[in-house]
Chains A and B, each alone.
Chain A
């Protein structure tokens, strides 16, 4: 039974930094989709180290293609 953790830092100017931990596969995207939709525009989305551990086979591909996506 994993514990899922969402960490937010809401900056003084209203920008939000969000870190999501404890999710497998793409479920973490679902977890924060609602929040991101209500808040606005996602500027930068990085997979954290944990994402690579849970998905070894795609490690290289993910790192190259998705480690720094700017919307």
Chain B
């Protein structure tokens, strides 16, 4: 049987998330695992980063959604990308790295990869069944 699925991506694993952040050029600061917000309040996070324009963001594991969630103080957001675009970019790159690593484990090889005009990434992977 063959099938077609649509998946709403959630940030479920740290390894592809960190790879995605690195690839997008964001520098992870693992010495300070917190995000400092307005009035000096601190929120503990699992992955923290300093974005350009002195914007602090982090990702914190959430037991309810079983995924990482973004932590930032929106009042202090000065980064050039709006926060929605930032999270979309991270999620897209997370999906890319997750697909690459999971399919590689199963012996698939990339035969085609295209960045499309609509901003999507197309990937084709194949494996010969023995």
Contacts and interface: CB of A to CB of B under 8 A. Distances in A.
Contacts of A45: 3-5
A28 B129 CA distance: 12
A46 B1 CA distance: 10
Interface in A15-30: 15-29
B122 interface: yes
For chain A, what secondary structure do more than half of its interface residues adopt (helix, strand, loop), or is it mixed? mixed
Interface in B75-118: 88, 90-92, 94-96, 98-99, 102-103, 105-106, 108, 118
Interface string A16-58: 1111111111111101101111111111111110110011000
Given A5-B125, A40-B12, A16 B2 contact: no
Interface residues of B, number: 41
Say which size band chain A's interface belongs to.
35 or more
Contacts, number: 167
B13 A19 contact: no
Nearest to B124: A7
9 contacts: A6-B123, A10-B92, A13-B91, A14-B92, A15-B6, A16-B6, A22-B129, A27-B1, A35-B99
A9 interface: yes
